[in-house]
A = this chain, B = another copy of it.
Amino acid sequence: MKLSRESEYALDGLAYLARRKPGTVLPLRAIARARGLPPVFLAKIFRRLTRAGLLTSHRGGRRGYALARPPQAVSVKEVVEAVEGADVFRRCVFWSNRCSDDHPCLLHDLWKTVRPQVVEMMASLTLEDVARGGLEEALRASRSRHRAAAR
């Protein structure tokens, strides 16, 4: 499940929107310029995010993209799945595309052990966490919640 640069750009662009006032509509060029990302490429990615329901697009007059939901309500997992495809997590970390649950590699069982944790972490991290770089803190919080639930 190695991620492509697309999901990084996606997170980057989305996080930029997340730092703006809620409901802000920004044309893609503005976002691309602000974050130093290749505009046409980012456009391609944003289309996918729109189709996935994470962004709303606006044409005509006040045009551009806006977050479809508040940043705290969007998980990193969703973003990654939207960009990389729903089966990202079934693909192995170690030998990505040629290894899946069906055609396991020599170390696949290892990945199957780690995977649930990765998925859970990504599910608990939100766009807001990414936007203000508070990943570590958020992960700590998520871990202690998890421990509490286990009791």
Would A110 and B114 be within 8 Å (CB), given that A2-B2, A2-B96, A3-B95 are in contact?
no
The interface size bin for chain A is 20 to 34
User: Chain B contacts of A125 at CB under 8 A?
Assistant: 107, 110
- Encode A74-114 as 1/0 by CB contact (under 8 A) with B: 00100000000000000001111010000001111110011
- Encode A46-64 as 1/0 by CB contact (under 8 A) with B: 0000000000000000000
- A151: min CB distance to chain B, Å: 16
Which of B8, B96, B139 is in CB contact (< 8 Å) with A106? B8
Would A109 and B139 be within 8 Å (CB), given that A114-B114, A114-B117, A117-B114 are in contact?
yes
